[in-house]
Amino acid sequence: MAIHLAKLLTHDLQLDPSAYAGQVILVTGAGRGIGLQTARAFALLGGKVVLAELSEAGRAAEEQIRAEGGEALYVQTDVADQASVAHLVETTHEHYGPVDVLVNNAIYIREAAVADMPIELWDQTIAVNLRGTFLTCKACLPEMLTRQHGTILNLISTDAMPGLSAYIASKQGITGFSQSLAQEVGSAGVRVIPFGPGMVDTPGIRSVAAGLAPRLGIPPDQFLHFSLHPAYIGLMPAEHAGAAAVYLTLRLADEFHGQAVNGYEVLERAGLLKTLAAPTADETMAGTDTTDRVELIRQLAHILTDTEAEFNRLPIFVRPMARQGFKSKAGQSLPDWQRMIAAWEANPAVPPQNLSDRLDQLVNYYRDVPKETARFTRDEDMLRQITAVTQQRLTVIRQLLQQLPA
């Protein structure tokens, strides 16, 4: 189904059609996919959009945006080449003025195992993705700092994926680079955000699907219909990713300055995507004293073991995200939790230090499990089952909390 991007922006997201009137937006890799839809979105909100694109797809993108009533300029650019980037920024300044928003979207992506990867493939991937991001930021940043105004959106990706080590390494490098740059500019009026759109339907992801899917243990068709949010049956439309980029830049830039954020969260905050409500079970647990502490510790150890097994059953490229999510919310990694509880089980009379605070963090993690699982499946029966299991786990942890001395 075709998506009416202007309606999505102004009606669904309730953005002002002139929100970017007079502002200069530079989008790299703007000829297709997320880059094209991001450029269109900014232009539909009144921005003067510069399309930095290596191929002639940039010219077609310029024509499309102008046909839609927007203002756009295609500048053929190799973001990995310093002279080409300098020419891009100079041309932008000559036609429109200084850059207000920089969106680093240009990518080079090829599928290859490390053992078989030509060194040239590695070098090209790092050059376009990571070096290109550095060069454009370096070229646009001085004027942003002088004006104390500007937003830089650097597109990132998932944590790990077999066959895409060069691409993932470049994207993780962009995350660290963006967070470091955000600290450098501080509160000087410039915002730097590492933005992961999500699993988006783009020519890039389709180009690697046939080789990547077997490494993940799934057929290509299933990979191209994989969803990370219950609002989507399959991949996110590129128009939604473009809308998320605009909304993030316009409404959430201060909040996410220096912080990685994904497109699903942005669109949830915008009200476009609905979230699964967190369980609202009674927080008070009756019968706390009916189960002995040793048995509760043993049950918690089993819960952690089961969680480990559940992570291992996830698609391989989702596992790092799941483990990082656990560590972020539970305060330490799953193996660290398992070691800590095993030591406590061996000596139940001596609880670990700061255990009450740690168990509170574990409650926070499991409380959000149904909502997070809904990003990966639309199966209502599965979600009901997961919610029930989660409530059982929360009961054990809360009972342990009540057994601890005040």
Q: What is the pLDDT of residue 293?
A: 81
Tell me which residue of 116, 121, 204 sits closest to 155, measured CA to CA. Answer: 204
- The segments of the chain whose pLDDT lies below 70 read 1, 159, 275-291, 316-317, 375-378, 405-406
Residue with tokens 């809308």: 243
Spatial CB neighbours of 346, under 8 Å, sequence gap ≥ 6:
none
Beta pairing, strands 71-76 & 190-196:
unpaired
| pLDDT for res 376 | 65
Q: Which run of H or E residues covers position 90? A: helix 82-95
- The residues, any chain, with a CB within 8 Å of residue 160's CB and separated by 6 or more, are 168, 317, 319, 320
Q: What does the pLDDT read at residue 277? A: 42
pLDDT given at position 290: 38
**Helix 238-251 × helix 33-44 angle, to 10°:** 50
Query: Cβ contacts of residue 281 below 8 Å, gap of 6+?
Result: 391, 394
DSSP labels for 167-179?
Answer: HHHHHHHHHHHHH
- pLDDT at position 275 is 56
* Length of the chain in terms of residues written: 406
Question: What are the helix (H) ranges across 186-292?
Answer: 203-216, 220-223, 238-251, 263-269
**Are the beta carbons of 323 and 333 closer than 8 angstroms?**
yes
Mean pLDDT of the chain: 89
Residue 287's pLDDT is: 38
Residues 34-49: tens digit of each pLDDT: 999 999 999 999 999 9
Walk me through the domains of the chain, giving residue ranges and CATH numbers: 5-269 (3.40.50.720), 288-403 (no CATH)
Type of residue numbered 221: D
Q: CA 273 to CA 305: how far, in whole Å? A: 33
Residue 42: burial class (beta carbons within 10 Å; 0-12, 13-18, 19+): buried
Q: Is 167 a catalytic residue?
A: yes
| Tokens encoding 99 | 């850059």
Q: What is the pLDDT of residues 87-135, one digit of tens each?
A: 999 999 999 999 999 999 999 999 999 999 999 999 999 999 999 999 9
Q: Check if the beta carbon of residue 81 is closer than 8 Å to that of residue 54.
A: no
Fill in the amino acid letter for 388: A
Closest CA to 157 of 147, 165, 149, 146: 165
Residue among 74, 167, 232, 365 flagged as catalytic: 167
Distance CA 391, CA 367 (A): 8
The per-residue pLDDT for range 225-246, each reduced to its tens digit, is 777 777 888 899 999 999 999 9
CA distance 314 to 121: 29
